[in-house]
Amino acid sequence: MFVSDSLNVNKEGHLTIGGADTLDLAKNFGTPLIVYSEDGIRKNFKFFNSSIQEYYGGNGRVLYASKAFCCKEMCRIAESENAGLDVVSGGEIYTALSVGFPEDRLYFHGNNKTYNELEYAVKSGVGRIIADNIEEIKTLESLAEKYGKKIDVYLRVKPGIDAHTHKFIRTGQIDSKFGFALETGEAMDAVRECTKSKKLNLCGMHCHIGSQIFDPSPFVLAAEVMMKFLSDIQRETGITITELDLGGGFGIKYTENDKPVGLDGYMRPVSEQIKKSAEKYSLPVPYILLEPGRSIAAAEAVTLYTVGAVKKIPNIRNYVSIDGGMTDNPRYILYQAEYTVLNAGKADALPDTTVTVAGKCCETGDLIQENAKIKEVKAGDILAVLTTGAYCYSMASNYNRVERPEVVFVTDGIPRTVIRRETYEQMAQNDI
Ligand code: LLP
């Protein structure tokens, strides 16, 4: 019935997540509130792990892309599910290390890592550093020298593939700020630069073609392009690269209009391509890394808001204002992202009105959804926005000095806070 299996409706007609009543959650924890089903998150990790087992005989690892939603508890869960982490900043590395996440399972990405971040990563023994540009390779060489360490490096490669998704979240094409281009020879030059150095161990290649991609074919194409590159590297330098990180980006269902192919729909054709290409180029099948973010976290959360003002503008639109908005979910203002919106107290009732859900910021574009079909709500009702587990809290801001919401995980129907609600004091604590 819903976009996620973690959701249901109880006999009172209230929306539940992970077995907990969303109206009780809103009452007990306040709103806005982001609620995750921990069971749902774990189920997704297990699904990816068993897929690696099935399609690559276990020769690979899932790296949760922590940019989707990063907090200590999420790192603990990823750790206990035997995943690695794709981290993109000193802050994400810090969060993982602060809960004892094994440093060798951290893969450090980013198109412009600062010297301090790289130094922190090297000092902490982060497992793999995915170099994005020549300057970074040079910095890594000098850090390896400084710390007397050999550094395991991947290169981020732009495979030259234009995936069909929103232009802001497309990354594999040549006109992208991420990585080394294949077409121009830049990627091979970077390989040579790494292999010149005795301190850098070039052990893998990485690509990520974009996010929320439904069609498996660009992933298959990227797999072939990357395997061909491994073959070119072997021919030109004699080095066999044995690790291949294929990134994330698997599309998920936000509304009934989305028709994802499911994990098998990507894994089967991509793994077949990898094996075929390995044979064609006489290469070993590499150790495969996948970096799901959205497909681990998004569908396992809802955001609960309290409805405030309801403004009916005849023949124009009906605004339903909520106590959050772009500060906890900037995805509509950024990408016009579609969401399923529900009256949480009447979750099984058929929609009878069309509304525009407006946030509380002084910004006309601060909307969560336009023309959403819902069961009518009035002031004081709880509105649920589904599938908000990825790129919402992690992209939250304090615009208008609005505090970031509390985040709760539900396990076996029992909720617990994993991120406290921000306070006014905390927001002002760095002001002098
Ligand atoms: N690996 C790399 C190198 C990435 O850059 C990303 C996402 C992922 C993995 C995970 O992709 P996922 O499986 O979550 O699609 N803020 C945007 C999404 C930006 C994605 C950035 N990189 C949004 O809200 O849709």
Residues 50-68 pLDDT 10s:
999 999 999 999 999 999 9
For residues 324 and 405, the answer to whether their CB atoms sit within 8 Å is: yes
Cβ of 109 closer than 6 Å to ligand 1, yes or no, is yes
Distance 196 CA to ligand 1 centre (A): 32
State which of 69, 212, 294 you would mutate to test the pocket of ligand 1, scoring each by most atoms of that ligand within 8 A of its C-beta: 294
Tell me the catalytic residues.
Answer: 362
Tokens of 246: 């294929």
Side-chain-facing half-sphere of 202: CA atoms under 13 Å: 28
- The response to whether residue 306 sits with its C-beta less than 6 Å from ligand 1 reads no
Is the pLDDT at 169 greater than 90? The verdict is: no
Q: What percent of the chain has pLDDT over 90?
A: 94
Check residue 49 and give its pLDDT. 98
From 48, 211, 294, 303, mutation site for ligand 1 pocket: most ligand atoms within 8 A of C-beta: 211
Long-range contacts of 422-425 (CB under 8 A, 24+ apart): 422/398
Mean pLDDT throughout 352-370?
97
pLDDT digits (tens, 9 = 90+) for 200-225: 999 999 999 999 999 999 999 999 99
Report angle CA 12, 14, 17 to the nearest 5 degrees.
130
Ligand 1 site, residue 294, Cβ cutoff 6 A:
yes
Q: Could you read off the pLDDT of 87-109 as tens digits, one per residue?
A: 999 999 999 999 999 999 999 99
Token pair for residue 398? 């304090």
* Distance from C-alpha of 169 to C-alpha of 326, rounded to nearest angstrom: 18
pLDDT of 170 reads 65
In this structure, which residue's CA is closest to atom 23 in ligand 1? 391
Residues of the chain with pLDDT > 70: what percent?
A: 98
Looking at residue 165, its pLDDT comes to 65
Q: Does position 181 have pLDDT exceeding 80, yes or no?
A: yes
**Cβ pair 109, 64 in contact under 8 A:** no
Residues 368-382 pLDDT 10s? 999 999 999 999 999
Cα atoms found within 13 Å of the Cα of residue 74, Cβ hemisphere only: 33
The answer to whether the predicted template modeling score (pTM) of the entire model surpasses 0.95 is yes
The pLDDT value given to residue 140: 98
